[in-house]
Amino acid sequence: MRRILVAGNWKLNGSTETIKELLKGILAGISDAKADVAVCAPYIYIPLVQDILAGTEVGYGSQSISENDSGAFTGEISGPMLNDFACKYAIVGHSERRSLFCEKDTDTANKFAAARKHGLTPILCVGELLEEREQGITEEVVSRQLDAVIELEGVEALADAVIAYEPVWAIGTGKTASPQQAQDVHAFIRGKIAKLNAEVAEKVQILYGGSVNGGNADELFAMPDIDGGLIGGASLKAEDFLAICKAG
Ligand code: PGA
């Protein structure tokens, strides 16, 4: 049985004050969570998150990672730096990185490799744009995004990774994919992996992301191939986030 993972993606949000408050709220209500829980913080707050979460069951990580370990890459943060602060996860290939920061499939694959090289669990985001769904090429798009990683790292690498299916049209829009729409793509992803390695397909956690909230998480997480969620907006309020952590 795969465990449910609920990971918060805070994006470009938070301050020392609000993060202290948010984590205090999460820790106060986490004991009856059904899921494994993690938060992905802006880089600069990771030391604060580490201090507060040390010795708790809540994991934490970053929202991206450099492909490089060190050198002349102004503004970047590397795997060894994230190790220095005991991060467990690194999101790679979030649609906002792909669209706003021009990250290509190969960049995402290199970041995925960098995370694994340093013992971090990559949370690999894949998902189609609205026009791609309307053109009926969702599976093609998701396949291409996965293939970049599989070609570089091999399918076995997915066994220690997390995949997040996030239809771009559902992110931050309040338009969640229906549980069946999400399940169909999750089943496609698992089936694609199973053709290469059945054991890896059985093991890999596939999260759904895109306007998940306390009201829809139960139904989504009840689907056979949905193993939790990557949560943006609703991860910024302890009460909303906890409602999702208790779902499933
Ligand atoms: P959302 O974001 O929950 O605000 O839609 C999800 C994400 O971008 O990971």
Which listed residue (67, 94, 96, 153) is catalytic?
94
Select from 3.30.70.1900, 3.90.1640.20, 3.20.20.70, 3.40.50.300 the CATH code of 5-236.
Answer: 3.20.20.70
Pairing state of beta strands 59-62 and 89-92? parallel
Q: From residue 83, give the alpha-carbon distance in Å to each of 51, 112, 138, 209, 214.
A: 14, 15, 35, 26, 32
* pLDDT (tens digit per residue) in 192-243: 999 999 999 999 999 999 999 999 999 999 999 999 999 999 999 999 999 9
Q: Is the CB of 172 under 6 A from ligand 1?
A: yes
* pLDDT (tens digit per residue) in 12-69: 999 999 999 999 999 999 998 989 999 999 999 999 999 999 999 999 999 999 999 9
Structural domain boundaries in the chain: 5-236
- Can you give the pTM of this predicted structure? 0.97
Q: Which of 211, 235, 236, 241 to mutate to test the pocket of ligand 1 (most atoms within 8 A of CB)?
A: 211
- Cα angle at 178 between 175 and 184, to 5 degrees? 130
Residue 166 designated active-site: yes
Q: What are phi and psi of 28, to 5 degrees?
A: -65, -25
Which residues 6+ apart lie within 8 Å of 84 measured at CB?
A: none
**From CA 192, how far away is CA 110, in angstroms rounded?**
21
